[in-house]
Amino acid sequence: MTFVSRVTGCYISPMRKGIAVSPGVAVGTAYCIHEIFVNPDTKRLEDSEVTAELAAYEAARDRTSEDLNALRTKVEGQVGRDEAAIFAVHEAILRDADFTHKVRGWIVDDRLTAAAALHQLLNHYTSLFTRTRDNYLKERVNDVRDVIVRLSAHLSEVLKPDTDALEGPLIVVADELLPSQAVALGDTDVRGIVTQAGSQTSHAAIIARSRGIPAVSGISGILRQVTTGDTIVVDGREGIVIVDPTPETRSAYLKLEREFVHHRDELAVNRDLPARTSDKVSLELLANINGVTDAKTAAAMGSTGVGLFRTEYMYLTHPTVPDEDEQFDNYCKIVDASPNSTITIRTLDIGGDKTVPYLGHHHQEANPFLGWRSIRLSFEHPEFFSTQIRAVLRASRYAKAQGCAIRLLFPMITTLDECHRIRQIVRRAQQRLAKEKKEYADVPLGMMLEVPAAAIAIDTILPVVDFVSVGSNDLVQYLMAADRDNPKVSHLCQPLAPAVLRLLTNVIRTCHAHSTPITVCGEMAGQPKAFVLLLGMGLRSFSMSAAFIPTIKELASRVSIAQARSILHHALELKTTTHVKRFMTDQLRRLSPESEKFDST
């Protein structure tokens, strides 16, 4: 397929068009993360390699067994015996004679790598289980998949490619970049990310934006086109990926990359300047973070605090289950990395696309985003939930001693009754800490506004919450009845949709009428077009990926409150998302042409 780039004017081929999820341009060397479910290694082993491959599989199996036993013990102690039982099931699968016989047979007889043998095994069990009418057996394929994922992870440690042998900056190419994979990349010089799956609010997108890395998602089959070592271009503004570009195309995009980086670095010098509109109205620009590294980056980019600490990444990347002391230490590290700041800690937001096996991953749901997740799941595990609350309360005492403040945020609140229940749980946690003579401090309790029912009835809930944080990613998908990770309907998940703008306008005005602080911490807070509209609605507190703070600060300095209100008034009269986008593109070019480079709406 040949395509003319509107940025460079070059004819580029071959190219792929996907979803622009993190703006910027990068040219680098492809580094493909091939999971066992995506394009497994098809090479045949030499006779001399078979013994080593069997040994690698056995070593991975032993380490997987150790993982499962440790998890079973820890989950049984912290969550409950019933929840821990799933790991006994996984251990039985791992040690199953037929399971082991098939893997060894494919390695010895068919000369497959261990990873390829596991892939073949998964296909075998998937075909076997999906033919049955027994729903219980159908669900067992997920348990087999979990075991194979753990085995594959340990195999990849043994056979991990040497990224040092690759020349130049890297472009990570994967099916979907999971949190654990992102952590494993460490300090590797990653300049771009391309994924086959995902959306603007997927893990890969959030990770990319938090690091200021250009990224494109939704490129189906890209792992069949790209090999580690290939030259690849990522245009996160237009959603374009180019494999093996011509010298002319490569040169043009290298120039664009330099210009983008130069402009980003120029903006970064405003880190110590206050965030103000052109008519000197002060704003609060906070950062969304996943861990200590993000907190340090946020401080370096000029954030005035942490608007959202996604604690689930602490669980998703932890080898077992983080206990109270581990969580307390982690929260204290966030405080140390965020001097003189307010830090908003969100309780565990697991479910939907983020799961851990000891909290219901083995229970299939037809609609997981609308099901047993977030605060609903936490209520089902009160001791587990209380452990996190206790750790936050203890960390709050430490934060006050350091000149910081901690706020506690609860996800996916739907009803007033849930808020009352949360306050009871927090009170009990305080009473237990006092009885144990453990120091703690009170914290403001806030709700994450993601459910349309809560947004419509927000005036009835505000009397029992101390602050509100709008999670626009989920609010938009629930309001539009469209799964943001489903490519068939993801086009409906638009933060500039008229229905979204009308709902948020009402929510912000209602919060102001009740003198309740409100922040938008979804991805739209860092998108220039959406930022101007939120400013016009009366929002003064924004939380975003740290990489976007300099851009939004610069844009804010070029728009007055009166201008933002006028723009919002006109936008609210428009009938379609397309019309709103066109109008806001024109307004952004007039206010701050450079800001458009950093917008992905």
- Beta carbons within 10 angstroms of residue 470's beta carbon: 27
Cβ(337)–Cβ(296) below 8 Å: yes
- Beta carbons within 10 angstroms of residue 309's beta carbon: 26
Query: 288 in helix, strand or coil?
Result: strand
Handedness of CA 36, 41, 42, 45 (dihedral sign): negative
Residue 165 carries which DSSP code?
G
Contacts of 373 (CB under 8 A, 6+ apart): 349, 350, 351, 352, 412
Contacts of 235 (CB under 8 A, 6+ apart): 5, 7, 20, 25, 214, 216, 241, 242, 253, 256
- The residue among 446, 474, 403, 418 whose CA lies nearest residue 309 is 446
CA–CA distance, 61 with 426 (Å, rounded to integer): 42
Strand pairing partners for 342?
305, 405
The active-site residue out of 10, 32, 511, 521 is 521
Handedness of CA 381, 382, 383, 389 (dihedral sign): positive
Query: 174 in helix, strand or coil?
Result: strand
In the chain, the amino acid numbered 298 is: A
CA–CA distance, 124 with 118 (Å, rounded to integer): 10
Q: What are phi and psi of 4, to 5 degrees?
A: -100, 115
203 as an active site residue: the answer is yes
The active-site residue out of 34, 90, 203, 381 is 203
Displacement of CA 200 from its chain's centroid (Å):
10
CA–CA distance, 547 with 598 (Å, rounded to integer): 10
Catalytic residues: 203, 521
